[in-house]
Amino acid sequence: MNIPESPEKDHPSCILCGRCLEVCPLFRVTAHEELSPRGKAFLVQQFSFRDISSREASKLAGLCAGCGRCTRVCPQGIDLPRLISSLKNRHPGWKNWLFSRMLSNGSIFLPLLSLGGRLLPQAGGARAFSPPRRPIAPLFKTRVSRKHSGRAVIFPGCFGRFLRRDLTGKAVHILGSTGLEVLPTPAWKCCGFPLAQAGFLQEQQACMQANIEMWQELGRPRVYTFCATCRAGLTEAHSPEDLHNDMRMLAQNTFSLSRVLPDLGFETLPHAGPQELVWHEPCHGTKETAQALHNLLKTKSLGLKVPDGQCCGLGGAFRLQAPKLSLQMAHDLWENLSPQPSSLCLTECAGCMMQLASTGPGGTETAHWLDLFQD
Domain boundaries, the chain: 7-91, 272-372
Using an 8 Å Cβ cutoff, are 43 and 84 in contact? no
Q: How much is the pLDDT for 56? A: 67
Mean pLDDT per 10-residue interval, the chain, length 375 residues: 47 86 94 88 69 65 87 92 82 66 62 52 50 78 86 95 92 95 96 87 91 97 97 84 86 96 91 83 94 93 89 88 91 91 91 91 92 91
pTM over 0.85? The answer is yes
CATH of domain 7-91: 1.10.1060.10
Which of the listed CATH numbers 3.30.70, 2.70.50, 3.90.470, 3.40.50 matches domain 272-372? Answer: 3.40.50
Residue type, 229: T
The angle that helices 323-337 and 350-359 make with each other, rounded to 10 degrees, is 80
Rounded distance between C-alpha atoms, residue 158 and residue 169, angstroms: 14
What is the DSSP annotation of 244-277? HHHHHHHHHTEEEGGGGGGG-EEEEPSS---SEE
Rounded distance between C-alpha atoms, residue 258 and residue 273, angstroms: 21
Q: How much is the pLDDT for 4? A: 42
DSSP summary character for residue 94: H
In sequence order, which ranges of 135-189 are alpha helices (DSSP H)?
Answer: 157-162, 165-176
Tell me the CA end-to-end span of the chain in Å, nearest whole number: 37
Using an 8 Å Cβ cutoff, are 139 and 125 in contact? no
